[in-house]
Structure 1
């Protein structure tokens, strides 16, 4: 079963804010709250929503966000959602077995309502949360990969070169 979720992400003076919505219209309603300040703007916005002219609406919102200095995006995400369980008692037994066998507080956590996906053979997958320490993620603070052997101290080659140059200037 597929589920589509719409997100509105804004990069504002307060940081990055993301909201999720179950329908495209809800995402645009969120934008209306953020960028419509007058009755005329609300009426124009509502007309675009009613007409389904979302491209024109996005142009209008883009101009409004440029005026405020905010940057935003509206995107749809299709999620492969789990089918409803046909045997809740069996699912609960799988969850309990997974918790007993694999749960490790702070490393591997399994929710009491975790998704259970039955296999074709004699078993099931149980969804779990796995902790990943930031130090284990091969990305520099700038967002570039840092596992190419060119950098040091968690930095990519470019940032490491800049740090070395800055250090040399101090000397």
Structure 2
């Protein structure tokens, strides 16, 4: 009797560990579900939207301009940020805020990306903290899951046309 209970308990623990390892690998290398908060990506992503962030593009270095990414915050490694890729290494980006009268340009250094929120008036992004290392990118947002009425692929940036390609 004792061996039967012990055998079933060990079997359950074994299955739990196996499925836990599978889930960890899936979330680490395939993708994850993310609940977004804050106004920086409005109107594309609003507070409490749930999105799916795939990680394959990051591992294959397939992040492109216009993609929305989840990245580690350059200020707080425990926090993630959700922003749009506006510039890749070698790109020249306009770094002025909408209220600034001077237009300055910055070249994105090698191994870095320039991130901005779609809500330019209410976003802390690369305009504040500069380009971020590619290694901080956790995944590319490819699908909005919640709320149900906005399920589907994400739209283009409402701020298109602000990038100056490198020459």
Give the TM bin, normalised by the shorter chain: under 0.3
Q: Comparing both structures, which one devotes a greater share of its residues to helix?
A: 1
Question: Based on CA coordinates, which of the two structures has the bigger radius of gyration?
Answer: 1
Q: Choose between structure 1 and 2 for higher RCO, CA contacts under 8 A separated by at least 6 residues.
A: 2
Q: What's the TM-score once normalised by structure 1's chain length?
A: 0.20
TM-score (norm 2): 0.20
